[in-house]
Amino acid sequence: MSYELNKLVKETLAQYTEKVEEDIIIVSNKDKYYDKISPIDATDYSDKIFSLMKNLNKTGLEDELIGVLSNGNSFKDALSHTIHDMSNFLEERLFSYVELGPEPIKTLFILSSLLKNGYKIESYTSIDINPSSETVMREALSALIPEEKINFINSDYANCTANDIPSNGANKIVTMLGFQEGNEDPKAILDILDNITAPKDIVLSEMQMISEYNFTPIFDFYNSSNMVEFSSVVFKQIFSALDSVHGVFLLPITINSFRCFVAITTETITSYGEYFNKIFITNYCLKFSPNQYTAIREERNLFTVFGSHCTEDQSVMFQLSQKTEV
Ligand SMILES: C[S@@+](CC[C@H](N)C(=O)[O-])C[C@H]1O[C@@H](n2cnc3c(N)ncnc32)[C@H](O)[C@@H]1O
């Protein structure tokens, strides 16, 4: 499935840049998040990738002007309102927390809000293809959760099911944050979420939205220092000896018959030789409108969206949905 999306993204960029497809190099999105040579043990590469994601969230929660136009929701406000709605919705005080692609900053913010309000955690489970997250996450969580309740699964979450998660019967809160689901075909994401959840479980997710009127937040995000460095680190992992220039594209794309956008970051190779002027795609991420984002989650009637909050500039949305009863 991702292969199909990779192919489509490549074709879309080729058409726009008037290149032939052979001039564009793409690797699977998930492959850039870990070191293929060392999938189990952390390396400098996997540590770096993890720390760049963490830094993005640090800026997101610390800079109270992110997402604000005048006096509306900042990024932090949008997340706080979402946590508030989620706590009101939870029927039981006990929950199990499952994080698909973990990071400590938003997670600690979410978990400490829930625990402060009297909710109790049965277990925390992280599923990550990147082994570097475990040490940092264990340390960050140690102040909130007893060690024996913390579990790590170092795997592709596409290979996991609800049976892999020790929830002891408690309803799960499953998070997929950081625009991660834009890296995959929405149908594949729905399958992943379906396989990991049971009826009544909640999914908390976060996506960058496309606004008809203002594309600036998307370009600002992909041109931010952390994202430019991310692009460069991914490129250098494969082409360590070559030089390149960074690029950001935002292009219309049709996925499963609906029209959305894809943000693509690239490194165009400037070193003379075999790869000169070829474009290496370092990342791509689908961008939906708020209505599309709801429709995608509710497709096949597997989940019902019961809440969402956006930043004032409409650039980031947190969405809450619940797995329907069968
Ligand atoms: C865009 S980052 C988002 C990180 C974090 N959730 C956040 O909010 O910033 C994606 C995360 O998902 C992990 N990841 C990506 N694809 C994965 C896959 N197929 N299976 C497991 N983990 C994956 C990466 O290691 C990374 O930690």
Residue at token pair 């925390």: 124
Q: How far apart are CA 192 and CA 275, in angstroms?
A: 36
Domain boundaries, the chain: 2-33+211-287, 56-209+289-323
Residue 86, CA distances (Å) to 103, 197, 207 in order: 20, 16, 17
Counting ligand 1 atoms within 8 A of each CB, the residue from 40, 66, 127, 128 with the most, and so the one to mutate, is 128
- Evaluate: CB of 316 within 6 angstroms of ligand 1: no
Atom of ligand 1 nearest to the CA of 130: 25
What is the 136 CA–ligand 1 centroid distance (Å)? 15
The tens digit of pLDDT for each residue in 166-181 reads 988 899 999 999 999 9
Q: How far apart are CA 186 and CA 172, in angstroms?
A: 21
pTM, to two decimals: 0.96
Q: Which fold has domain 56-209+289-323?
A: Rossmann fold (3.40.50)
For residue 104, which amino acid is it?
Answer: P
Counting ligand 1 atoms within 8 A of each CB, the residue from 3, 6, 30, 160 with the most, and so the one to mutate, is 30
**Residue 40 token pair:** 């189990």
The tens digit of pLDDT for each residue in 72-100 reads 999 999 999 999 999 999 988 999 999 99
**Residue 69 token pair:** 């136009």
**Residue 311 token pair:** 């930043």
What is the 285 CA–ligand 1 centroid distance (Å)? 12
Residue 42, CA distances (Å) to 35, 127, 303 in order: 8, 15, 35
10, 21 in Cβ contact below 8 A? yes
What is the 306 CA–ligand 1 centroid distance (Å)? 24
- For every one of its 326 residues, what pLDDT tens digit does the chain have, with 9 covering 90 and above? 456 899 999 999 999 999 999 999 998 888 899 888 888 988 999 999 999 999 999 999 999 999 999 999 999 999 999 999 999 999 889 999 999 999 999 999 999 999 999 999 999 999 999 999 999 999 999 999 999 999 999 999 999 999 999 988 899 999 999 999 999 999 999 999 999 999 999 999 999 999 877 899 999 999 999 999 999 999 999 999 999 999 999 999 999 888 999 999 999 999 999 999 999 999 999 999 999 999 999 999 999 999 999 999 999 999 999 999 87
